[in-house]
């Protein structure tokens, strides 16, 4: 992909993200996603451009491993493609307000990913917020355990659920119980996509 000019590359990624948004990508099965990868390679606006610079199979792999690997992080305002998202998810600043209140602010320079985490401050108090969806709970707990071992602000896990989805009371209670066993506080918040540019306080 080194031969393609950056503006054109970003234009292709933006188009892929637009279509993923319309499809409700998170709700698609693995087989459905695979079908769409194939269709995008066959599409003139995406594969028709990519295959000028690489073989078809490499183009399919590039779609999967470059733009779509960054898709959810980009939706959270994180990473090199965050500005290409039309309907971003709430970023760290918004999630921290939902989970802890408006008095807590993101400490500049502390945002990290895999999983998403950052330090928050409220006056002289600090904590580390580690957040993601319930399907990433294992990664959140592991990051929380490592944060405790490494020292620093107390880690708190925030499990996000998107508007229209629902975690049962039993599922939430299970998350709380797992957190208790790991010595970690777990909070739950419901988020929704927003229209307009990404929340830059959330990273990028």
Transcribe 27-80 into DSSP letters: GS-HHHHHHHHHHHHHSTTTHHHHTTTS-HHHHHHHHHHTTTTSHHHHHTT-ST
Question: Which pLDDT does position 195 carry in this prediction?
Answer: 53
60 and 103 within one domain: no
Per the domain annotation, does 190 fall within a domain?
yes
102 and 64 within one domain: no
The CA distance from 53 to 173, in Å, is 51
Range of the domain at 187: 92-202
105 and 64 within one domain: no
119 and 166 within one domain: yes
Task: Report the range of poorest mean pLDDT among 21-25, 116-120, 177-181, 196-200.
Answer: 196-200
Which comes out higher in pLDDT, residue 106 or 26? 106
Secondary element (H or E) of residue 179: helix 169-182
In CATH, what number is assigned to the domain containing residue 113?
A: 3.40.1350
Which has the closest alpha carbon to 71: 17, 138, 136? 17
Q: What is the mean pLDDT of the chain?
A: 90
150 and 56 within one domain: no
Question: Which pLDDT does position 203 carry in this prediction?
Answer: 37
Per the domain annotation, does 74 fall within a domain?
no
Residue finishing a domain among 54, 69, 84 = 69
184 and 141 within one domain: yes
Q: What is the pTM of this model?
A: 0.72
Cβ atoms of 118 and 128 within 8 Å: the answer is yes
98 and 51 within one domain: no
pLDDT in tens, 113-131: 889 999 999 999 999 999 9
185 and 135 within one domain: yes
Total number of domains in the chain: 2
Is residue 2's pLDDT more than 60? Answer: no
């Amino acid at each position: 992909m080194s031969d393609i000019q950056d503006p054109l590359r970003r234009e292709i990624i933006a188009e892929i993200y637009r279509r993923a948004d319309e499809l409700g990508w998170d709700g698609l099965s693995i087989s459905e996603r695979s079908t769409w990868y194939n269709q995008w390679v066959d599409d003139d606006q995406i594969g028709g451009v990519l295959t000028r610079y690489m073989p078809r199979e490499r183009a399919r792999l590039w779609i999967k491993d470059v733009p779509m690997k960054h898709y959810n992080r980009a939706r959270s305002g994180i990473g090199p493609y965050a500005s290409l998202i039309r309907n971003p998810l709430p970023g760290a600043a918004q999630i921290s307000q939902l989970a802890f209140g408006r008095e807590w602010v993101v400490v500049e320079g502390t945002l990290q990913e895999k999983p998403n985490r950052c330090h928050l401050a409220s006056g002289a108090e600090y904590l580390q917020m580690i957040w993601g969806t319930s399907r990433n709970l294992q990664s959140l707990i592991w990051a929380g355990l490592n944060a405790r071992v490494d020292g620093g602000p107390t880690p708190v896990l925030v499990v996000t659920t998107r508007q229209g989805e629902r975690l049962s009371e039993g599922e939430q209670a299970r998350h709380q119980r797992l957190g208790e066993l790991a010595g970690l506080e777990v909070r739950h918040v419901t988020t929704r996509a927003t229209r307009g540019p990404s929340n830059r306080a959330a990273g990028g």
